[in-house]
Structure 1
Amino acid sequence: MAAEKELKNKGGDKYSLIVPTYNERLNIALLVYLVFKHLRNVDFEIIIVDDGSPDGTQDVVKQLQQVYGEDRILLRARPKKLGLGTAYAHGLKHASGNFVVIMDADLSHHPKYLPAFIKKQQETGASIVTGTRYITGGGVHGWNLMRKLTSRGANVLAHTLLWPGVSDLTGSFRLYRKLVLEDLINSCVSKGYVFQMEMIVRASRKGYRIEEVPITFVDRVFGSSKLGGSEIVEYLKGLAYLLVTT
């Protein structure tokens, strides 16, 4: 990718990648390999927040630490599933970078886009760079029609009611200035699926500069999706909450 070739580490910037995991034994090694492949010229660390996965995810991460070093792969485990928002807050406590990337472990967020995120931030000075499926160059691979309609409908509904100024509210592949992420996490009350939407809506309300990079979201190959009917109900509740409070 052109962005990857042009990418240079500027001004001592360091990037902390926070990756929450639960039963990602089959994905985490490939994700880590791809991050190292695409961020060769960048100072970074990967903080893996595992919520007590019973499938041996932590054992794989410990093997990766032996290969890449415990200073590059940080395992910061928790005893059980405590919610996505708290996972990011937990990882943030251990982040030494001045920029933080949040991304999923299931390979739906391909690390090949990371250089474009960093390059966009360097060019614009943005506080947040978010990956989007809904502008030219973006898309979704592996979803059935119902899943696509549900996602698109959720974004259209949120845009109509909240006017957040970004095209993809439910995406969870983003680059933040660390201080901005800390501010937003402290401002948010949501802990689950709604957390991503609340973060970006509050960022917009606070006047933080947000830039977008088109990505193709790929549905997970290994493991099972964590999204179900209860998450959709929570999304609608969260939407109503944000409409009243922001």
Structure 2
Amino acid sequence: MASRRPEAFGRSDGDPSQPVGPAGEGTLVIIPTYDERENLPLIIDRLHAALGAAHVLVVDDGSPDGTGDLADALAAADDRIHVMHRAEKSGLGGAYIAGFGWGLERDYAVLVEMDADGSHAPEQLHRLLDGINAGSDLVIGSRYVAGGSLVNWPKRRKYLSQGANTYSRLALGVKIRDITAGYRAYRRAVLEKIDLGSIDSHGYCFQIDLAWRSIQAGFVVSEVPITFTERQIGESKMSGDVIGEAFFKVAEWGMRHRLDRLGLLKR
């Protein structure tokens, strides 16, 4: 099924050429892991069945269940798979930033965020990459645009997610429907321009932070519909602290943006 042309926000400063091949050439999919031993081989198999040329970087935060050792074994058998070991669990944002740095050093054209638990369907990754090839700089796989959907999500989490997105949209004055989403593809120019070293956000807030910085830098951010499926193996890593962090930081960013536009922000 052909993907919808994404609705875009912003101005493109990226390369308008098509950096991604039809089988995922030029793409690095970054998969952070912590205790995902059962899920990891399943998601990588699905990814390579969908896009055989895409490369994978597993960023493991010292999983006590042996996920890192399994990732090493998978990498030894397949040169499309790479592994980064971090000494301890230090947050989703830190894992992605480390992965971005690794991918940029190795000249990948597009870097993708994908969960290990199967909630992000690899079979739909082509929709995000089509958006990149159509001229977007950051493409978000959205649950809340036409054609997007949620499967097996508890009502409480659905309402929490929708509330967080509505709050962020109003506080920041953006049109993105799913700014908290974690399934996304970045053109390398975006990550080269953003000061990744200054980001200390986690969870929901990390995703909002990067999308907001991309918009502020003048890049085109678009959304394409995806089906988000609740994990069947393991437990969610979301916590109340992460939600609280997002609430206060988004309020601060929105206020600073409005003061800046009014010329009232001290520099």
1:88-237 mapped onto 2 (5 Å cutoff) = 88-95=96-103, 96=106, 97-122=108-133, 124-186=134-196, 188-193=198-203, 194-237=205-248
| 1:79 corresponds to 2:84 | no
Residues 187, 77 of structure 1: alpha-carbon distance in 2 compared, 3 angstrom cutoff: closer
Question: Equivalent residue of 2:85, what SS?
Answer: coil
What number of residue pairs does the alignment pair up? 236
Q: Is the 8 A contact 2:132 2:187 kept in 1?
A: no
Contact 1:51 1:79 in 2 (8 A): yes
CA contact (8 A) 1:107 1:218 kept: yes
SS in 2 for 1:66: helix
> Any stretches of 5+ residues in structure 2 without a counterpart?
4-19, 258-267
Identity %: 35
The answer as to whether partners of 2:94 and 2:200 remain within 8 angstroms in 1 is no
1:30 aligned to which of 42, 46, 65: 42
Greater relative CO, 1 or 2 (CA 8 Å, sep 6+): 2
- SS of the equivalent of 2:73 reads helix
SS where residue 21 of structure 2 aligns? Answer: coil
Answer yes or no: is the 8 Å Cα contact 2:40–2:116 preserved in 1.
Answer: yes
TM-score, normalization by structure 2: 0.83
Per-residue deviation, 1:241: 2.4
Q: Deviations over 1:80-132 (max 9, x none)?
A: 0122222112112221311111111111111011111112221x211111100
Equivalences for 1:4-19 in 2 at 5 Å?
A: 9=21, 14-19=26-31
Contact 1:22 1:52 in 2 (8 A): yes
What is the letter of the counterpart of residue 56 of structure 1? G
The question of whether the paired residues in 2 share the 8 Å contact of 1:102 and 1:173 is answered with yes
Aligned amino acid, residue 58 of structure 1: G
CA contact (8 A) 1:190 1:238 kept: no
